[in-house]
Amino acid sequence: MLVLAAMTVVFSLAQAAGYNAEKLLKTLTQRWGPQTAQRFQDWQKVVEETRQAPGMEQKLQKVNEFWNKRIQFMDDPEAWGLPDYWATPMESLGHEKGDCEDFAIAKYFTLLASNLEVAQLRLIYVKAKIGGPSSSIVQAHMVLGFFKTPDAEPLILDNLLNDIHPASRRTDLVPVFSFNSQGISAGTAAGAATTGTNRLSRWEDLLTRAKAEGFE
């Protein structure tokens, strides 16, 4: 009875924070098996610890490290059998395989569940210089940026690094555009022109599927 009561409280708190924990758990276990219930509990623990962490960098670090350790990097054709697939957070938690977009998306939704504001988070499509800033080898990549204020320099959460650095220290990354649930921006600077998410069909589809999972 005590366990049931505790889970009811957790589900109620989750609902208030913008996600339906009971629905997420059902979505996860029905598709990926009952053994994934423990993974969901691990994720909820991180969400709660992130909410309670005293400093913002500690919050970001918890989420960055959780997903960097949880997902095995794998390109979409091998992971999903598709040339380009953006996984929902529960798909990433169930499959435990994915590419850079999947890491960034999972961190985005986890931080929202931990009570961060949508306006503080943007997924950033970048050109990454493989091997360092002086490298001539460039690859498409995605990271998550945290903005303390709209015009602040973002802190970068990256599946390539467990450490979180301000954008000015990530000279190996060249931003192209950024987006969140509110829209798409041409760049990351404050005041950049913003358009609706319907111009990025994969993101629109991802938001629809995440809502069906239980994210509000």
Enumerate residues 6+ apart whose C-beta is below 8 A from 188.
122, 124, 145, 154, 167, 175, 178
Residue 151 CA to residue 9 CA, distance in Å, equals: 37
Write the single-letter amino acid at 29: T
| CA dist list (Å): 20 to 63, 172, 200, 210, 216 | 19, 38, 26, 11, 7
Identify the pLDDT of residue 209.
97
How large a percentage of the chain has pLDDT more than 70? Answer: 86
Task: Select from 163, 43, 55, 54 the least CA-distant residue to 109.
Answer: 43
Phi (first) and psi of residue 121, to 5 degrees = -125, 135
Q: Are 77 and 128 in contact (CB under 8 A)?
A: no
Task: Tally the residues of the chain.
Answer: 216
Three-state helix/strand/coil letters over 99-164: CHHHHHHHHHHHHHHCCCCHHHEEEEEEEEECCCCCCCCEEEEEEEEECCCCCCCCEEEECCEEEE
Asked if pLDDT for residue 8 goes beyond 90, the answer is: no
What residue type is 45 in one-letter code?
Answer: K
Q: Give the pLDDT of residue 151.
A: 86
CB atoms within 10 A of CB 174: 13
Say what the pLDDT of residue 186 is.
73
Amino acid at 127: K
Overall average pLDDT of the 175-199 stretch:
73
Which pLDDT does position 191 carry in this prediction? 47
| pLDDT-derived band at 135, boundaries 50, 70, 90 | confident
Q: Please tell me which residue, 119 or 9, carries the higher pLDDT value.
A: 119
For the record, the structure tokens of 209 come out as 């599927």
Q: Look-up: residue for tokens 């091998």? A: 78
**CATH topology assigned to domain 2-213:** C8orf32 fold (3.10.620)
Every domain of the chain and the residues it spans: 2-213
pLDDT tier, 130 (very low <50, low <70, confident <90, very high otherwise): confident
Q: Are 214 and 11 in contact (CB under 8 A)?
A: no
pLDDT tens digits, residue range 55-76?
Answer: 999 999 999 999 999 999 999 9
Q: What percent of the chain has pLDDT over 90?
A: 77
**Which whole number is the average pLDDT over 123-139?**
87
- Per-residue confidence (pLDDT) for residue 199, from 0 to 100: 67
d(CA 78, CA 83) in angstroms, rounded, equals 9
> Between these two residues, 166 and 190, which has the higher pLDDT value?
166
Q: Give the tens place of pLDDT for each residue, 9-49.
A: 344 434 445 799 999 999 999 999 999 999 999 999 999 99
